[in-house]
Amino acid sequence: MKYLKVGFVFLGLVVSKYANGFSYCKNDDPNFDTCLAKGIEDAVKSFKSGSSELGLKPIDPLPVDKITLGSGGGAVNLVQYYDGVSVHGLTNIKVTKAHYDKSKKTLAIENVFPKLSQKGHYKVNGAILSLPVQGDGQSTLDLENCEIKLTLQLSEDTIGGEKYFKIESCKASIKVQMLFENLFNGNKL
- What is the CATH classification number for the domain harbouring 131? 3.15.10.30
For residue 103, CA distances in Å to 32, 65, 100, 106 come to: 15, 35, 9, 8
- Among 22-26, 58-62, 179-183, the range of highest mean pLDDT: 58-62
Other beta carbons less than 10 A from residue 122's beta carbon: 26
Percentage of residues in the chain having pLDDT higher than 70: 80
Per the model's pLDDT, the better-predicted residue between 29 and 3 turns out to be: 29
Question: Is residue 13 over pLDDT 60?
Answer: no
pTM of the model: 0.71
> Per-residue confidence at 69, pLDDT binned at 50, 70, 90?
confident
The verdict on residue 34 lying in a domain is yes
Mean residue pLDDT of the chain comes to 81
Give CA angle at 95 (4, 81), nearest 5°.
105
The verdict on residue 176 lying in a domain is yes
Task: Of 6-20, 30-44, 57-71, 86-100, give the lowest mean pLDDT range.
Answer: 6-20
Number of domains in the chain: 1
Question: Whole domain around residue 10: which residue ranges?
Answer: 3-180
The verdict on residue 74 lying in a domain is yes
The verdict on residue 188 lying in a domain is no
- 68: left (phi > 0), else alpha (psi -120 to 50), else beta? beta
The verdict on residue 187 lying in a domain is no
Question: Is residue 155 over pLDDT 60?
Answer: yes
Q: 37 near 60, Cβ under 8 Å? A: no
> Per-residue confidence at 179, pLDDT binned at 50, 70, 90?
low
Question: Is residue 35 over pLDDT 80?
Answer: yes
Please give the pLDDT value at position 18. Answer: 41
The verdict on residue 94 lying in a domain is yes
Measure the CA–CA gap between 23 and 44, rounded to whole angstroms. Answer: 12
Question: Is residue 99 over pLDDT 70?
Answer: yes
- Which residues, other chains included, contact 55 with Cβ-Cβ below 8 Å and sequence gap of 6+? none
The verdict on residue 20 lying in a domain is yes
The verdict on residue 185 lying in a domain is no
Element (H or E) spanning 44, and its range? Answer: helix 32-46
